[in-house]
Amino acid sequence: MALDRKALDLCVDELSQELSALSRQIHAHPELCFEEHQASTWLGDCLERELGGPVERGVGGLATAFRARVGTGSPRVAILAEYDALPDIGHACGHNLIAGGAVGAFLALARGAASLPGSVEIIGTPAEEGGGGKIKLIEAGVFQGVDAAMMFHPFDRDILAHPALCSMRIAIAYEGVPAHAAAAPFAGKSALTACLETFRLIDSQRVHFRDGVRVHGIVTNGGQAVNVIVEHAASEFTLRAQTSAELERVREIVLRCARGAALACDVSVSFEEKRGYREMRNNLTMARRFGAALEALGRNPRETDARVGAGSTDMGDLSLYLPSIHPYLAICDEGESLCHEHRFADCAASERGMSTMLVAAKAMARTTLDLLEDPKLLGDVRREFEAAR
């Protein structure tokens, strides 16, 4: 079957029952990062059933990653699925819909695989919620030779190119000297005081942060007994910024505050740093083409919306590796709920969530076909990517 936009839409509509059932099944069985064994099995089984051929499971050395390809040669476009959930609040990020949308787009394109001028792959990317699955897949070479990548994310409004912040974590451990808190407090050195002072010092520096910086922390060890001057204390901070350069500057400030607090309290301090995600570089050429597809499907997306805040995603890392988009589509009314809330988890299993998932599938399928059929479009996408490097 030759593919045109209407044929793609029709394929997605024919698959709608199956896609909704699959998405609701994943929603009803939330699995945490790198533990998405059921979800990746169900997604792989659905793809195999529809394609009549095998799906690569455990791709890139990650047990819950998978990949399937249709078409031949270049250009190569990847459509990404996420399917991990959050502790306690389940699919409150709506990754079940991301998975269903990706499968829908891919299978619609697969039905006309023989006439595709290039190839399309669906890549199942585990552990977006903290595990950085896409980073591991990049390092394993899974995205080598891919010309462009896309996914969609559920939200409370339609936005084509919203920023995502780069991020990192710093765990801070303080070592003091224990002493009887009543009989001999003068003999002790409090690790907890240094820990608490670090929070206060960081707050004092917020006035110097650039727009978009976020520093948020928790105390992970505040001591064991109230009648002992605390020997061991610990905290953990997440740092986020709009650029890697600003993140590095804020990192220095946080380390300085912890060292200053430790100096004042005469305790020792040590750090364990963990990289997070890179900032999202939305490919506007591709995002606008996706937007045109959305408009043709009756939606009215904005390019961006300064009124809503930004989080972080491992799609940011991929967006610096190859041209990528990460558009957001509404599964509820504006302001009704945002990702990581209980209400949003309900929306991710609702009729509206399912219908948005189908629109996303159609728009991704159309955009993929545009990229494969239109060398000028792909050239413009590449040129924008190279110019931003």
- CB-CB contact of 172 with 195 (8 Å): yes
Beta carbon nearer to Zn ion, 174 or 328: 328
| CA dist., res. 77 & res. 186, Å (int) | 66
State the nearest-atom distance from the C-beta of 98 to Zn ion, in Å.
7
* Shortest distance (Å) from residue 305 CB to Zn ion: 17
Nearby residues of 291 by Cβ (< 8 Å), 6 or more positions away: 160, 301, 303, 327
Question: What 3-state DSSP class applies to 120?
Answer: strand
Choice between 93 and 150, CB closer to Zn ion: 93
Q: How far is the CB of 129 from Zn ion (least distance, A)?
A: 5
Q: Looking at residue 206, what DSSP letter applies?
A: G
CA distance 186 to 236: 28
Task: Name residues contacting Zn ion, limited to 339-358 (CB under 5 A).
Answer: none
42 versus 152: smaller Cβ distance to Zn ion? 152
**Nearest distance from C-beta of residue 353 to Zn ion, angstroms:** 13
Beta-bridge partner residues of 81: 124
* Cα–Cα distance for residue pair 198/134, rounded to 1 Å: 33
Instruction: Give the range of 64-72, 91-99, 105-113, 200-208 binding Zn ion by CB under 5 A.
Output: 91-99
Q: Which of 165, 43, 101, 103 is nearest to 297 (CA)?
A: 101
| Listed residue (36, 150, 31, 156) closest to 91, CA to CA | 31
Nearest residue (CB) to Zn ion, 117 versus 130: 130
In angstroms, the CA 144 to CA 123 distance is 13
In this complex, which beta carbon is closest to Zn ion, that of residue 285 or of residue 312?
312
Give whichever of 82 and 231 is closer to Zn ion, judged by the CB atom: 82
**Minimum distance from residue 283 beta carbon to Zn ion (Å):** 19
* Per-residue binding letters, 51-90, with Zn ion (x by CB under 5 A): ----------------------------------------
Burial 207-219 (b: 16+ CB within 10 A, else e): eebeeebbbebeb
Whichever of 94 and 118 has its CB closer to Zn ion, that residue is: 94
Residues 231-270 that bind Zn ion (CB under 5 A): none
Residue with tokens 């159309």: 366
Which residue from 294, 295, 304, 299 is spatially nearest to 361, judged by alpha carbons?
Answer: 294
Q: Are 68 and 106 in contact (CB under 8 A)?
A: yes
Strand order in the sheet with 56-57: 56-57, 66-71, 119-124, 76-81, 148-150, 324-325
Residue 19 lies near Zn ion (rule: CB under 5 A): no
Q: Is 104 or 133 the residue whose CB approaches Zn ion more closely?
A: 133
> How many of the chain's residues bind Zn ion (CB under 5 A)?
1
In whole angstroms, the minimum distance from the beta carbon of 268 to Zn ion comes to 36
Provide the minimum distance between the beta carbon of 122 and Zn ion in the complex, in angstroms, as a whole number: 18
The contact mask relative to Zn ion for 92-111 (x = CB under 5 A, - = no) is: -x------------------
Of the pair 93, 357, the CB lying nearest Zn ion is at: 93
Tell the smallest beta-carbon distance from residue 131 to Zn ion (Å). 12
33 by DSSP, 3-state: which? Answer: coil
The one-letter amino acid code at 187 reads A
Residue nearest to Zn ion (CB): 93
The DSSP secondary-structure symbol of 86 reads B
We find the least distance from the C-beta atom of residue 128 to Zn ion, in angstroms, to be: 6
| Paired residues of 385 in beta bridges | none
Instruction: Return the residues of window 198-237 that contact Zn ion according to CB under 5 A.
Output: none
Residues that bind Zn ion (CB under 5 A): 93
